Amino acid sequence: MSVLNPACAKIDEAIAAFGIETAVNGRLIQKVPYGNGHINDTFLLRYETPDHTEKRYILQRMNHDIFRNPPLLMENIVHVTNHLRGIILSRGGDAERETLNVLKTSDGADFFQDSGKNYWRVFPFIERSICLEKVESAKDFYDSGVAFGGFQKMLADYPAKTLHETIPDFHNTPSRFRDFKAAVEEGDDRRITLARREIAFALDREGDTSVLTDLLNQGKLPLRVTHNDTKLNNILFDEATRKALCIIDLDTVMPGLSLYDFGDSIRFGASTGAEDETDLDKVELDLSLFEAFTKGYLEGCDGSLTEKEIEMLPMGARLMTYECGIRFLADFLTGDTYFKVHRENHNLDRARTQFKLVADMEAKWDQMKAIVEKYGSCSV
């Protein structure tokens, strides 16, 4: 198998470390790149057993340039998935399919570091599941809301402060804004000129950046265990029933605000345009999708959110969209060093779509609040 990333040259060393052939009494028949993730290197491993059945596993090389401390990241994932597993089993669920399960190495470790200093992990493949790259119906988005709300509910009593920050200040909007202002001061002059309207849009909303962090610091919002990357494609759906089955991609699970998870889902799933749409007339907040997700999320949370958290859900949506926009814009101004780009001005296009969505949220603010009040009144 050809390996595009040189860091994956030790893949056979990693596969051997987990001893899967011995565990399943079978032989490896295929190892291929899998999925379309942009951070880690992911492979599908297929094993044939003596009775000619097949077992599959997901092998990942963790990107230690983005996640600087993989051992602490894995400690988070193991503790959180063990907690979820206990709850799922206690209610008669299928813990092999409803949460990720970390496969240990032959030495009993949760991950493996190869001779090239790369970190690897393995999860059993969750069979009979599908992943959706975009919202195909209001029901899909409602079900994703139930799933992410349920994730929040199951972790409501988990001591968030005991988790490590896998990416410090990941959703700290004031910190992101400071990074953006530095990019304006230090960025490429031509790009700054090209983005002058977007820069002005972002600067005009500086006052919003600390709204949620101020409430957290004042003790008015609780610190919770949050996923922090709640895109639709981080949920596996059951192939037969189309019901949300399992939350995946737990690398950014760490302490945060429930509003981050709600907001990022809305940003990604309730927009009528693609994240890098160049025709901004196609980009707006779909209120029917906003309502579907809000209803599902609050049902999934099942009374675990406070009144203040519910009240601030619209701000979570607006602020996470704004934060993503200033991240795209800062990266554009400083030469596209973080987000992968596939055309000229790609990150500027991304920033423009986020800011158009923010502006539309502002225009529909009263309607967003009314939807939250409609479903939130029964959810405390």
Q: List the CATH number of the domain containing 209.
A: 3.90.1200.10
Q: Which residues contact 173 (CB under 8 A, 6 or more apart)?
A: 209, 210, 212, 213, 319, 322, 323
| Mean pLDDT value of segment 127-154 | 94
127: nearest Cα among 52, 50, 46, 17:
46
Residues spanned by the domain of 68:
6-125
In a shared domain, residues 159 and 59:
no
| Mean pLDDT value of segment 366-378 | 93
Q: Would you say 19 and 27 are in contact if contact means Cβ atoms under 8 Å apart?
A: no
Question: Which of 82, 100, 125 is at the close of a domain?
Answer: 125
At 186, list the tokens: 């230090």
Helix then strand then coil, % of the chain, to nearest 5: 50, 15, 35
Question: Which of 98, 125, 152 is at the close of a domain?
Answer: 125
In a shared domain, residues 89 and 189:
no
Look at residue 1 in the predicted model and tell me its pLDDT. 41
Helix, strand, or coil (residue 197): helix
DSSP run (H or E) holding 61: strand 54-62
Tell me which amino acid residue 221 is.
L
Domain-located, residue 287: yes
Half-sphere exposure of 222 (CA within 13 A, CB side): 18
Q: What angle do CA 347, 261, 212 make, to 5 degrees?
A: 90
As for how many domains the chain has, the answer is: 2
Q: Position of tokens 């565990």?
A: 23
Instruction: Tell me the sheet residues that pair with 124.
Output: 57
Domain-located, residue 131: no
| Mean pLDDT value of segment 112-135 | 95
Domain-located, residue 1: no
With 0.75 as the threshold, say if the pTM is over it. yes
In a shared domain, residues 263 and 330:
yes
Tell me which amino acid residue 162 is.
T
Look at residue 2 in the predicted model and tell me its pLDDT. 41
At 46, list the tokens: 């297929």
83: nearest Cα among 68, 107, 100:
100
Look at residue 380 in the predicted model and tell me its pLDDT. 55
Distance CA 305, CA 316 (A): 14
Of these ranges, 133-137, 359-363, 375-379, the one predicted with the greatest mean pLDDT is 359-363
In a shared domain, residues 153 and 43:
no
Domain-located, residue 130: no
In a shared domain, residues 196 and 324:
yes
Look at residue 3 in the predicted model and tell me its pLDDT. 46
pLDDT band at 255 (very low <50, low <70, confident <90, very high): very high
Tell me which amino acid residue 359 is.
A
pLDDT band at 308 (very low <50, low <70, confident <90, very high): very high
Look at residue 136 in the predicted model and tell me its pLDDT. 87
Helix, strand, or coil (residue 16): helix
Q: What is 231-260 written as a DSSP string?
A: -GGGEEEETTT--EEEE---TT-EEE-HHH
Q: What's the sign of the alpha-carbon dihedral 262, 263, 264, 266? A: positive
